Amino acid sequence: MSLYSAPDAHHAPDADVHHDIDAHHDVEYLPSLNPAPSYWPVLLTATMTLIPAGIVLYLWGGDSLRLLAWGLLGLGSLTSLVPVMGWCHSVIVDKWAGHFGEAAQGRDLVLGTKLFFLSEIAIFGSIFAYFFATLRHIHLDAGKFWPLDGSPAHWHVGLPAIGLGILLTSSVTCEVAHKMLLKGNKSACKDWMLVTIVLGLIFLAIQGYEWGVFVERGFTVESNVFGTVFYVLTGFHGFHVMTGLIMLLLVYGRLEIGHFSKRRHFSMQAASWYWHLVDVVWVFVFVFVYALYDAY
C-alpha cells in the first residue's frame, strides 16, 4: 500500500517532496527519513542532576558545603539551558524536514504534550498531598499548635492575590495572542505575547520580593516542616513559571522569524496550554496555602 493516500495533483511526490511540509500532508510515516538519534535528552539529564545534588548538599551538607551547593545549583540551572535549547532546535528542524506527515505529527505532538502535563500534575499533586498530610499530622499531635513556631502569625494575602490577578490576566493575554494568530494578525499576536511575558516577569518579581520579606523576618525553609513545604511548593511553581516564560520567549522569537501560520503553530499552542496549567496551579496554591492559612 502506498504511503500517499490519494494526493492532489499539486501534492504529487517528487525528488524533494520530503523537504516540503505542505507537499505531503497525508503522509503518515516515512521510515527512510527517520531523524538521527538525539543526544540532547542524555545531556539534559546529566546537567539537571546537578540541581538536586546542590539541594541535598544545601540541606544536609552543613555550612562548609554551602558554597559548593550554590555552585552546583547555579551550574545545573545554567548548563541545563543549553540542551533544552538544542533539543527544541532539533524538534523544530525535524518537523520542517518532514519526517512525518502533518496528521502524524499532530497526533504525536498532542499526545506527548498531554503525557508531559500529566507528569507535571502528578508532581504538584504529590507536593500538595505532603502539604495536607503535614497539616493532618500537626492537628493529630496534641502537643503542636497552628501556626507552628517560626511561622508567620498571619498571612498577608494582598501580595499573593495581586500575583494571582497578574497570572490570570496573563492567561487572558496569552489566549488573545493565540486568537490573533488564528486570524492571521501576526503583529497583534506578537504584541499580546510580549504583554504575557512581561506579566509573567512581574509575577516572579512579586514572588521574589515576598520570599525576601519572609527570610528577613526569619521564616526560612529550615524554620519548621511548614516552611519546608511552603518553599518547595512555591519555589517549584516559580520554576515552572520561568520554564513557561522560556517557552513563550521561544514562541515570540519564532513569530519574529515567521515560523508560524494560521494552520501550523503547535509550538505556540503547547506553550499556551502550559502557561494556563501554571496559572491553574497557582489558584490552588493561593487558596490552600494563603487564603486558608488562618483557618488551619
Classify residue 284: in a domain, yes or no: yes
Map residue 144 onto helix, strand or coil: coil
In angstroms, rounded to a whole number, what is the distance separating the alpha carbons of residues 270 and 267? 5
pLDDT at 82 over 80: yes
Classify residue 85: in a domain, yes or no: no
> What is the number of residues in the chain?
296
Q: What is the pLDDT of residues 191-204, one digit of tens each?
A: 999 999 999 999 99
Classify residue 54: in a domain, yes or no: no
Single-letter residue type at 231? Y
Q: What is the mean pLDDT of the segment spanning 13-37?
A: 48
| Short-list 75, 237, 280, 256, CA closest to 248 | 256
Share of the chain above pLDDT 90, in %: 32
Q: What is the mean pLDDT of the segment spanning 196-225?
A: 92
Q: What is the pLDDT of residues 235-294, one digit of tens each?
A: 999 999 999 999 899 889 888 888 777 766 778 888 999 999 999 999 999 999 999 887
Classify residue 110: in a domain, yes or no: yes
Query: Is 64 within 8 Å of 138 (Cβ atoms)?
Result: no
Contacts of 244 by beta carbon, 8 Å cutoff, 6+ apart:
200, 271, 274, 275, 278
At 101, the pLDDT band (50, 70, 90 cuts) reads low
Q: What is the pLDDT of residues 2-22, one digit of tens each?
A: 333 333 333 333 334 334 444
Only one residue has cell 513557561, namely 244
Classify residue 216: in a domain, yes or no: yes
In angstroms, rounded to a whole number, what is the distance separating the alpha carbons of residues 60 and 235? 19
Only one residue has cell 513556631, namely 149
User: Structural domain tally of the chain?
Assistant: 1
Let me know the angle formed at the C-alpha of 147 by 234 and 137, rounded to the nearest 5 degrees. Answer: 85
Classify residue 246: in a domain, yes or no: yes
pTM of the model: 0.72
Q: What is the mean pLDDT of the segment spanning 31-45?
A: 74
Alpha helix (H) residue ranges in the chain: 40-48, 50-60, 66-97, 102-140, 158-182, 186-216, 225-256, 266-285
Reading the block at residue 95, the C-alpha cell is 518537523
Classify residue 92: in a domain, yes or no: no
CATH number at residue 258: 1.20.120.80
Segments forming the whole domain that contains residue 275: 101-296
Classify residue 87: in a domain, yes or no: no
